[in-house]
Each structure stands twice: as structure tokens, then as C-alpha cells.
Structure 1
Amino acid sequence: MAELVVGPRLYSCYKCRNVVAHHDDIVSKAFQAKNGRAFLFSHATNIVTGPKEDRHLLTGLHTVADVFCSDCSEVLGWKYERAYEGSQKYKEGKIVLEKFKIVKENW
């Protein structure tokens, strides 16, 4: 009987299937984006970061940059560059990926 080899649980771009994140890097699943739920990741791969801009989000003012798939350039979410509220500092350097823009791989 062949042994089933299970790799890491991954998330890929829904458009081109480029791997963008590992399930183990999820910090929180309780994020809200314009178009529904989103996940906060400690880091992501195969993404390109756009220009920084200040945005008023649900939790206050943040400096963020949109993140794009490095293969197909689809916007997948954003990266927190700076949080102005002390209680939000934990988000700095982390990436939010919108749930409907990513698909599960190896589940």
C-alpha cells in the first residue's frame, strides 16, 4: 500500500495558481476586506508590493500598500506598512489576503 505524502497546506492566487502563502503563516482569520473576509498572514511569497498610501480602515489610519500576484498581477490584498494606533502595531509588516482571491492547495 502506497504511503500518502502530504505537503504543506498552501494558498494560491485564484487566477493563475501561483503559490502566495502557507497556512501555518496565518495570524488571524477575523479580518474584513471590502469584498468579504480576509486572512492576516505573517508573510507571503510570490507577491509584488505597490506604492504606500495612507488609508482609513475599520481600525483607524494605516499606511498600506496593495499586494499583487507576481505572475498575473492580480490584486490579492494589502500589506500593513505602518499603524498609527498603538493597539494596531502588531499588524505592521503583515499581509492581508482576501479570501475570495486565494484558493487552497494540498488540503
Structure 2
Amino acid sequence: MQLIHCPWCGPREEVEFHYGGQADVAYPENPAALSDEEWAEFVFYRDNPKGPFTERWSHATGCRRWFNAVRDTRTYEFLATYRIGGPVPATGSEPSQQEVSA
């Protein structure tokens, strides 16, 4: 079993967490003005890199808070976790700028 470090609760077993998708994807400022194609792009299209990637996770059975993580998609290893809105921690395997901002 893998341990995931919750920024509030500390290390916990992975079964306590739920994946929430790519981190730092900004909600459209005026969603009603989007075309169907633009809305579909926002809802369904995300980056899918090989390597370090910033993701959003929820500590579902613990504090129930959301946080961000840098996870290596090749190995499933969590390189760092941090609070939403905080800086991406240095991991030695930095995600590319495209992966950090949407």
C-alpha cells in the first residue's frame, strides 16, 4: 500500500484519497459565452504527460480537504504534495510549465 502525504493530516494510506484531475485548470470566466466545442474542450481535454504532473487530490476519508500533488505518471510515485494556491515544491523532477498551468 502506498502512503500519500496529506498537507493537513500527514501520511495516510492511498485508499483514503480520491483523484480529482489535473491541477490548476481555471474555470472559464464566462461559461455561458463558450461554444459547445470550447465547453467540451474545457470539460474533457487535459494534458496527459509521461513523467511529473500536477494533480488535484481529495483526502476523502480524512480531513476531506483538497490539495495538489506532483506525481510521476510513469511510476505512480508521489514526488510532493502541497496546499492549493501554494507554490509547486521543488522535486528534482520538475513538471513542465505546460503541466503546471492550464
TM-score normalised over the length of structure 2: 0.32
**Structure ranking higher in helix proportion:** 2
TM-score normalised over the length of structure 1: 0.31
**Structure ranking higher in strand proportion:** 1
